[in-house]
């Protein structure tokens, strides 16, 4: 048996899994988005925009805001891990920041629902400390809760990538900047961030795609209107069995993530040119 044929046989199982469990369902969903009463057309998309335009805008705004905040926190944490001068604080931060990575989204939703509710742990703690009165307590179980959940869950993943990239930067450059009187903030912004920009962008693109597909968090924290597209897809299927509109919403979500992927790819192509 030739090495080429043996390699093909070894690849076939993985290729079959990708084709039958990913490519075929994806193609069926995309085609199904254009099927209306047995014919092809844009009726499902028209209905989707008529019913869920506010939810589509809400989803893009929530995920975009969360992505920006994740980037800011990842740079701040990664920068302190690289430039921090207190070994105990650096060691404690390095040990703490990774924990949310190992917690599933559905547990994150349940934990934050308990924490951010009007009578939740956060408001009870603030009232016990005398920071607020019971009449001033408000619920964060709305768009703010979704953003907090996404940022809390995804920041460690991006930070792990960014901190690793920052650790590989030549320390001599950083020490030279320090000897010339540059502050840590200036070193972070003008030396570290430009050198890890590609890694940061990869992490943010992957986080954007992940957040666009999360169902449990919007269902558990904010299922009222406006809500996220994933909750609408689940509602159309479970309440009406309307796979056409659900597929159309899925295609709209796919196009949103494709736009982010295109921005990343065009940036990478410009860097290699």
For the stretch 231-242, pLDDT in tens is 999 999 999 899
Distance CA 44, CA 21 (A): 24
pLDDT value of position 261: 85
Distance CA 105, CA 211 (A): 10
pLDDT value of position 248: 94
For the stretch 137-160, pLDDT in tens is 888 888 999 999 999 999 999 999
* Region class of 210: left (phi > 0), else alpha (psi between -120 and 50), else beta: alpha
What mean pLDDT is reported for the chain?
89
pLDDT value of position 69: 96
* Residue ranges of the chain with per-residue pLDDT less than 70: 1, 223, 272-273
Query: For 119, phi and psi rounded to 5 degrees?
Result: -105, 30
How buried is residue 182: exposed, middle or buried, by Cβ count under 10 Å (0-12/13-18/19+)? Answer: middle
Considering the entire predicted model, what is its pTM?
0.87
> Do residues 52 and 242 lie in contact, with contact meaning Cβ atoms separated by under 8 Å?
no
Q: By three-state DSSP, how is residue 224 classified?
A: coil
Six-digit token pair at 238?
């479970």
């Amino acid at each position: 048996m030739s090495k080429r044929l043996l390699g093909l046989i070894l690849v076939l199982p993985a290729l079959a899994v990708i084709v039958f469990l990913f490519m075929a369902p994806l193609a069926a969903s995309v085609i199904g988005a254009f099927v209306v009463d047995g014919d092809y057309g844009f009726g499902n998309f028209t209905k989707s925009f008529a019913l869920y335009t506010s939810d589509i805008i809400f989803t893009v705004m929530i995920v975009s805001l969360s992505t920006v905040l994740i980037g800011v926190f990842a740079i701040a944490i990664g920068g302190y891990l690289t430039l921090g001068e207190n070994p105990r604080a650096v060691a404690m931060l390095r040990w703490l920041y990774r924990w949310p990575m190992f917690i599933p989204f559905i547990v994150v939703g349940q934990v934050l629902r308990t924490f951010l509710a009007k009578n939740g742990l956060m408001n009870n703690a603030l009232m016990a400390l005398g920071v607020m009165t019971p009449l001033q307590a408000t619920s964060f179980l709305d768009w703010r809760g979704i953003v907090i959940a996404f940022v809390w869950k995804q920041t460690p993943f991006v930070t792990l990538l960014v901190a690793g990239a920052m650790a590989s930067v030549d320390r001599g450059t950083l020490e030279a900047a320090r000897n010339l009187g540059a502050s840590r903030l200036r070193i972070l912004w003008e030396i570290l961030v430009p050198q890890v920009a590609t890694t940061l962008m990869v992490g943010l693109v992957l986080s954007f795609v992940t957040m666009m597909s999360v169902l449990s968090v919007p269902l558990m924290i904010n299922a009222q209107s406006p809500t996220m597209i994933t909750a609408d897809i689940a509602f159309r299927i479970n309440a009406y069995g309307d796979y056409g509109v659900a597929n159309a919403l899925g295609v709209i979500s796919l196009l949103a993530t494709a736009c982010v992927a295109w921005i990343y790819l065009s940036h990478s192509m410009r860097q290699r040119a």
